[in-house]
Amino acid sequence: MQPAGGADAEWARAARAGDRDAFARLYERFAPVVHGVLLCHASETDVRDLVQDVFLSALRSIRVLEEPERVGAWLLSIARNRARDASRRAGTRSELRLAGDDDTEIAVDRSPSPNRAGDDDAAEARRALAAIRALPEAYRETLTLRLVEGLSGPDIAERTGLTPGSVRVNLHRGMKLLRERLQPGGAA
């Protein structure tokens, strides 16, 4: 059985040669990872559009991909650049920020809702996402891919190009920081 990483490179080579089905397979495999990375860097409201923008850009430029074995890292590089561009256009690092930090705040929808428990869950999810976004980038991305996108450590390593050891360390250290920040009175 061929490892998924080998299939990724084969799909990238085929897509580079114009095979749209191969590109569709890359999209299916990497869309959750791209989504997770964008969620770390861009406004929550922009993420869906940015995912499409990343893959449209990749489709247009895949013919110049020099290392098909690194297609995942290449896509994530495009995603990070698109997120930075979107943030610059918006004039802010992100719309969802941590409360209490000098230049940060949490943007929470305060509209009334008949589902109060759902509102509480959504507010807690926003608070957790804001805490993740305040972490160093390496932790932010691996935690988002694990906690939001549901990828395992080996899946994260395989799709991002990180070593499994780096992913384990990032997840361990990131979870420790995240727990500290989410505890009452934790760091902002």
C-alpha span between 104 and 171 (Å, rounded): 24
Whole-angstrom distance, CA of residue 75 vs CA of residue 71 = 6
Give per-residue pLDDT as tens, 42-91: 888 899 999 999 999 999 999 999 999 999 999 999 999 999 998 888 77
Residues 111-118 have a mean pLDDT of: 49
- Candidate CATH numbers 1.10.287.110, 3.40.718.10, 1.10.10.10, 2.40.50.140; the one for domain 100-188: 1.10.10.10
Dist CA 67 CA 177 (whole Å): 35
Give residue 72's pLDDT: 95
Decide: 36 and 142 in contact? Cβ < 8 Å: no
- Domains of the chain: which residue ranges? 1-95, 100-188
pLDDT reported for residue 121: 81
Class of the CATH domain delimited by 1-95: mainly alpha
pLDDT recorded at residue 94: 42
